[in-house]
Structure 1
Amino acid sequence: MKPMPMTTRLALLGAIPFIFSALLLSLDILNLPVLGSVANLLGSYTLVIAVFMCGVHWGQYLQQAGDRASNLLIISNVLTVLLWIVWLIVPIDIFLMLALTVFLILLYIDMRLRMGGIISKNYFRTRLLVTTVVCACLLLSIYAI
C-alpha cells in the first residue's frame, strides 16, 4: 500500500476542527475555557480555510501555462472578499451557511479543473472527501447553533 501523500494528510488534519466543533455544538457545549465561543471558533476557522482554498485557486491560476482562465482569478477574489464582509456583518449561522455554499462552489471549480487536467485525480478525490466532511459538519453545527 502506497503511503498517503502529504497533501491528503494535511487536508484530512485540517478537517479535525470542523469535526470537533460540530461534536461540541451537538453536545450543547457552547464555550471552551480560554478559547470562548465554539461557534465563533468554528466561524473564524471556516473563514481561514475558505480563504486558504481561494488562495489555492490563485496558485492554480498562476501555474497554468499559456491560456489562463482569468475568471478563476476573479472568482477567488470575489469569494474571499464576500466571505470576509459576511463574517463581519451577519449572525454566525448565516455565515456558516454561506461558507458551506462557498466550499461547494470551490469544489465545483476543482471538478472543472480536474476535467481540464489541471489538477490530479488524487487531489480531486481528497478535495471531494474533505469537502463532504466539512459540509456535513457545518450543517450539523448550523442545526446545533
Structure 2
Amino acid sequence: MTNQRISTLLAYLGLLPFFLGALMDYVGSSLPGLPSFIVFATYSAIILSFLGGALWGQVLPQAEHRVALLIVSNVVALLSWAGLLLIFLLGKVALVLLLLGYLLVVLFEVIHKETLSGVIEWKYLTLRSRVTAIVVALHAIVLLNQH
C-alpha cells in the first residue's frame, strides 16, 4: 500500500472519533465519568495539535522564507492548548477556538500550497479540505447542541 493510500485511509479513519463524540453528544450519551462533549473536544485538540506539528514539519526545511507558516503552526498548537484549558470553564468558547484552528490550518495550506513539500501531486489539499469540512461541520453540530 502506498503512503498516499495509507494517509488517505488514516485521515478518514481519524474522523471516526469525531463522529462518535458528536453522536454521543447529540443523543446525550457519555462514557463513565466523561461527558461526551469532553470526549469530542479533547480528541479535537489532540488532532489539531497534530496538524500544527505536521505543518511545522512540512515547512521547517524551508523555514527561512516561510516564517508565517511556522508562526501559524505554533498558533494552532496554542489554540489547541487553550481549547483544552477552556473545555471545563467555557465549553462553547473552547469549541469555537478548536474550529477556528482547523480553518486556519487548511486556509494556510491552500494559500501556501507551493510550500508544502511534494504533497500536492497526490491531491493532498483535496483530502485535507474534505476532512476539514467534515470536522468543522461536526464541531458546529456539537456547538449547537450545547445549552
TM-score interval, smaller chain: 0.7 to 0.9
Aligned residue number for residue 139 of structure 1: 140
| Structure 2, unaligned runs of 5 or more | none
User: Does the alignment pair 1:68 with 2:36?
Assistant: no
Counterparts of 1:1-145 in structure 2 under 5 Å? 5-29=5-29, 31-33=30-32, 36-64=34-62, 68-89=65-86, 90-114=89-113, 116=114, 118=116, 119-120=119-120, 122-145=123-146
**Alpha-carbon deviation of 1:136?**
0.6
Percentage identity across aligned positions?
Answer: 28
> CA 1:68 to 1:117, structure 2 compared with 1: closer, same or farther past 3 Å?
closer
**Contact 1:61 1:68 (C-alpha < 8 Å) held by counterparts:** no
**Separation in 2, partners of 1:38, 1:63:** 39
**Alpha-carbon deviation of 1:112?**
1.6
**Separation in 2, partners of 1:41, 1:86:** 13
RMSD: 2.2
Higher helix share: 2
**Separation in 1, partners of 2:140, 2:79:** 20
**Separation in 2, partners of 1:128, 1:79:** 17
**Alpha-carbon deviation of 1:86?**
4.0
**Separation in 2, partners of 1:86, 1:15:** 19
> CA 1:92 to 1:32, structure 2 compared with 1: closer, same or farther past 3 Å?
same
Q: Which moved more, 1:92-101 or 1:76-85?
A: 76-85
**Contact 1:28 1:144 (C-alpha < 8 Å) held by counterparts:** no
| Structure 1, unaligned runs of 5 or more | none
TM-score by length of 1: 0.85
> CA 1:117 to 1:80, structure 2 compared with 1: closer, same or farther past 3 Å?
closer
> CA 1:71 to 1:117, structure 2 compared with 1: closer, same or farther past 3 Å?
closer
**Contact 2:83 2:95 (C-alpha < 8 Å) held by counterparts:** no
> How big is each residue's C-alpha offset from its partner over 1:28-57, in whole Å with a ceiling of 9 and x where there is no partner?
22x223x62111111111110011000011
| Greater relative contact order, per chain length (Cα 8 Å cut-off, separation 6+) | 1
